Amino acid sequence: MAKLKIMVVIGTRPEAIKMAPVIDKLQAETRFATVLTVTAQHRELLDQVLDLFQLEADYDLDIMSSQQSLTSLTARIVTDLRAILEEAEPDLVVVHGDTTTTVAASLAAFYQRCQVVHVEAGLRSYDKYAPFPEEINRRLTGVVADLHFAPTAENRSNLVQENIVSEQIFVTGNTVIDAGLKLVEAEYQFSNFRLSELDLATGQFILVTAHRRENLGQALEHICQAIKELVVNNDQLLVVFPVHPNPQVQQVVYNYLEHHERIFLLEPLGYRDFINLVAESYLVLSDSGGLQEEAPAFDKPVLVLRDTTERQAGLESGRLRLVGTERARIVREVERLLTDKQQYQQMIAGPNPYGDGLASRRIVDYLLYYCNFSAKKPDEFSY
């Protein structure tokens, strides 16, 4: 029987992290011929993850440019992918999540009448501007996709409510759990020299990330003010803050937080360092989508620096708590978890709604079933 050609398209660091275990399983499956295409929407950060997971691109659009706009980025991906799709002639195009690469690659594949598979489908905030542009990217991809791999049952329900045929949806858990569990080590030695010099086992340390477009400006200033107040109020507290390369983030963060002896501002970390840092943290303070899934895998509470989240299962399980960007509320919620052990334990006591480390295997098994290579439909993820 001829092999089925599957093209995976990724463009950013989060996509590469979350798709790496899927690509690994696809490449090991003899009934599939796997083609990896990267847009390099984020060049340097993407390359770090490709190197970490030893992934080699078959096609590289290399489209990143300084101060690229969403409009130009989308147009270039759709245009440049056409020739690649015509040459490769894949049977399926697999995209992930909610990036500009995701929606543009889906559209390009649709124009070539190629089936689209959406991994991490069905997340919704139902606020078109939060997260921006991710909410609309994900919704549009859901309209185009032929097969939807939803991390949770709640994500499946969102898709069903949008009139997606139930038989086209399969619940897998989130592949980021697969990636993270593979890389965390009990006696990990950080490659980042500043982290290697820190005694993270002494006292409490919180991991902070903040970079979302909707938080740029005053909201980010309030976040930084809260962090500064927290370390002043709590003399055993350390803050580790890998700072996003966006100049609008860097300017605010360094202006407010540089030169404090217990606030460690770092360049973006390699993923192996980063996920082991998550595993060693006391709690996570972040506006990141991925961290809302990664931290619960290591029993770390997540205080979400947003007013809404498309990851409702984390809220319902108690693993996540929305704290917004108002200074006083952030300080209050962090200090509650620093001092109230019962509150802390309650946040991590429930089941992890995001996965068990087997999402990638489920995805490949279901693709075998979907493509008639297997007669047995695999079991879905439940928690």
Which of 42, 211, 306, 311 is catalytic? The answer is 211
Say if residues 136 and 142 touch (Cβ distance below 8 Å). no
Residue 211: other Cβ atoms inside 10 A: 19
Name the active-site residue from 118, 244, 306, 362. 244
- Residue 30 token pair: 């003899």
Residue 151 near residue 297, CB atoms below 8 Å: no
> Which one-letter amino acid corresponds to residue 8?
V
Q: State how far the Cα of 318 lies from the Cα of 312, in Å rounded to an integer.
A: 10
Contact at 8 Å (CB) between 177 and 93?
A: no
Vertex 80 angle, CA 74 and 86, to 5°: 130
Determine whether 222 is an active site residue. no
Q: What is the DSSP letter of 219?
A: H
User: If DSSP codes are grouped into helix, strand and coil, which group holds residue 5?
Assistant: strand
- Is 213 catalytic? The answer is yes
Amino acid letter at 235?
A: D
Catalytic (active site) residue 244: yes
CA distances for 159 relative to 95, 139, 148, angstroms: 17, 9, 9
Cis peptide before 131 (omega within 30 of 0): yes
Packing angle of the helix pair 341-349, 327-339 (nearest 10 deg): 90
Q: What are the residues whose beta carbons fall under 8 Å from the beta carbon of 214, sequence distance 6 or more?
A: 129, 130, 131, 132, 306
Quick one: three-class SS letters along 118-144?
EECCCCCCCCCCCCCCHHHHHHHHHHH
CA distance 193 to 151: 35
Is the Cβ–Cβ distance between 82 and 60 less than 8 Å?
Answer: no
> Half-sphere exposure (CA, 13 Å, Cβ side) for 157?
7
Active-site residue identified among 13, 24, 96, 134: 134
Residue 271 near residue 13 (C-beta atoms within 8 A) = yes
Active site residue 43: no
Q: Which of 15, 24, 98, 178 is catalytic?
A: 98
Q: Tell me, yes or no, if 221 is annotated catalytic.
A: no
| 316 residue type, one letter | E
Contact (CB, 8 A) for 183 and 262: no
Asked if 58 contacts 23 with a C-beta cutoff of 8 angstroms, the reply is no
**Residue 362 among the catalytic residues:** no
**Which residues are annotated as catalytic?**
98, 120, 134, 211, 213, 244
